[in-house]
Structure 1
Amino acid sequence: MSIHDVDAPLRYWRDGAIAHIRFNRPAALNAIDVLTAEGFLAACQAAADDEDVRVVVISGEGRAFIAGGDLAAIKESPVATARALIGPMHNGIALLAAMDAPVLASLHGAVAGGGLGVALAADLAIAAEDTRFSFAYVNIGTSSDCSTSWALPRLVGMRKAMGMALLGETLDAAEALRIGLVNRVVSADALSDETGKLARILAEGPTLALGSLKRLVRDAFSRDLHGQLDAEAVAFAACAGTADFAEGVAAFFERRPARYRGR
């Protein structure tokens, strides 16, 4: 089954410069099985390979974003299934982090386990008021995957991350906003429209500069000050040679909005 099919467990399509990745198993609260994981990797690869993609939006069909891994699928052959599922999920998350296009997670309902990892892997996140966040792994006797252990302490700090991980705490959307798990919280009715507005702002931005910025911020914790200064200098010089930089400077002096092309 193709990721472009409307009934695929993981759907991918483009709307202009906006690429959509949607988890599409609503009857299972979008729990991730092997086919879904493979579709996720295929969708991430499609977005990464498409120079016309300037933002990626990740969402979930039905009542939840992603309720974690599909335990019904995993329990029959736990080790083999876990490996078959985790491999493509991790490769997809790595592609999202490396691409220039910013990644926006649109969240509602349950965001648990691997679903939390996918949400944290995005560069920005917007959540409906009904969203509930759960690390969840300790509740089934396992450690984490999908970059949760890497992203969570960077976003919320070590002590809060430990509380979520070791105690299996569930957070509501207001608390998630307060501690920095998400950027915005909106009503459930407004989620689609507000996601679209953010996606369009990002899609109209200087894509190469946005890519440089996301990598600088993501890598900042792994460098000392001098290393980060060097990385900033290299990235700025690269951006200064782009058409979007020339357009941004021209727009500044001409006192008009910039019209970036992502080049």
Structure 2
Amino acid sequence: MTQTVHVTHDGHVAVVTFARPPHNHADLSLIEAVGAAFEAADADADVRAILLRSEGRVFCAGADLANANPVADPQPEGARNPFYVAAARLFAVRKPVVAAIQGSAVGAGLGLALAADFRIAAPEARFVANFVQLGLHPGFGISAVLEHVIGRQRAALMLLTGRRIRADQAAEWGLVDEVVAQEQLHEAALTLAREIAAGAPLAVQSTRATIRGDLFALVQRQTDHELAEQAWLQRTADFAEGVRAVNERRPGRYIGA
């Protein structure tokens, strides 16, 4: 579909693969392309489930806040940020999504993983909501969706510490549904997607809609709030220090200003 996203089909499963080496950083074009692939799968009556995966060692290292911050540009009053419009669009897909997580899912990469119904991970996978370590409020709807998946207390722990969660702990928490060896990851995720696709498609979509509720509307509302908080935090000295600290791989020296 684009230079960064391509789609293949395995029976009734659409396999959506994205690649932006070396770290699969998320920007507007990538998220829009994944969203377009999801919408095409929704429109294809032969597709009953979607497998989301990426190439390389990292699932998605999040947005490149130092060089291409997708939420930094001010928008006209009342307008939504295009990056978060594209992010919310991922939650509007009607067909079940399985994500294969081979490595780190950081920041917006965690948000991308949370757009899926199920996550199959390799032992090397790590899940990180490191926004506060950047001096920033969480985005991509994570401040709402993460709690739905792992509960409020565990979500608070991840969001307020920026702690890296290993695949085995993520499985204990329900953030990951299965941990398999790296070389078995694609086949395990595809097996689950095939199992879902084997069900009666209308019944599967109806049941999924009941379970998820209006998650799309929730993410739309939450990203509006997240963006407002991010806007003023990005003007602070702590945010500038946080971006430097992460790029320099050192603890941040924050001053609360």
- Specify the TM-score bucket, using the shorter chain as the normaliser: 0.7 to 0.9
Report how far residue 73 of structure 1 moved.
Answer: 4.1
Pairing 1:63–2:57 present: yes
Task: Give the secondary-structure state (helix, strand or coil) at the position aligned to 2:26.
Answer: coil
Contact 1:121 1:147 survives alignment (8 Å)? no
Quickly say closer, same or farther: Cα 1:216–1:77, change in 2 above 3 A: closer
1:85 is matched with 83
Q: 1:60 to 1:127 in 2, by over 3 A?
A: same
Structure 2: stretches of 5+ with no match in the other structure? 216-257
Q: Distance in 2 between matches of 1:108 and 1:166?
A: 25
- Residue in 1 that maps onto 2:242: none
Aligned equivalent of 1:24: 19
One-letter code aligned to 1:94? F
Deviations 1:39-62 (A, max 9, x none): 122112111111111110011110
Q: Calculate the TM-score normalised by the size of structure 1.
A: 0.74
1:112 to 106, 111, 128: 106
Per mean C-alpha deviation after superposition, the further-off stretch among 82-91 and 199-208 is 82-91
Which amino acid is 1:83 matched to?
A: N
Give CA-to-partner distance per residue, 1:197-250, whole Å, 9 cap, x none.
Answer: 1122122112211112222222299xxxxxxxxxxxxxxxxxxxxxxxxxxxxx
In structure 2, how many angstroms separate the alpha carbons of the residues matched to 1:76 and 1:200? 35
Q: What's the secondary structure of 1:46's corresponding residue?
A: helix
Structure 2: distance between partners of 1:197 and 1:55: 11
**Among 22, 33, 38, the residue aligned to 2:32:** 38
Equivalent position amino acid for 1:59 in 2? R
Structure 1 segments unaligned to the other structure (5+ residues): 222-263
The count of corresponding residues between Structure 1 and Structure 2 is 211
Q: Helix, strand or coil for the counterpart of 2:24?
A: coil
Partner of 1:95: 92
Of the two, which has the highest radius of gyration?
Answer: 1
Q: Which has the higher contact order (CA 8 A, sep 6+)?
A: 2
Deviation digits for residues 40-87 of structure 1 (CA, Å, limit 9, x no counterpart): 221121111111111100111101111111224434982259933222
Residues 28, 70 of structure 2: 8 Å contact kept: no
Distance in 2 between residues matched to 1:220 and 1:89, nearest whole Å? 15
Q: Tell me how large the CA RMSD over aligned residues is.
A: 2.2
1-structure distance, mates of 2:133, 2:36: 30
Give the share of equivalent positions with the same residue, in percent.
Answer: 33
Aligned-residue offset at 1:124: 1.1
Q: Distance in 1 between matches of 2:170 and 2:129?
A: 12
Structure-2 change in CA distance of 1:139 and 1:10 (3 Å): farther
Superposed, 1:8-23 pairs within 5 Å as 8-23=3-18
Equivalent of residue 168 in structure 1, options 140, 147, 162: 162
Kindly indicate whether the alpha-carbon contact (under 8 Å) linking 1:48 and 1:95 is maintained by their aligned counterparts in 2: no
| SS of residue matched to 1:78 | coil
Supply the AA of the counterpart residue of 1:95: A
TM-score scaled to structure 2, two decimals? 0.76
CA distance in 1 between counterparts of 2:100 and 2:48 reads 16
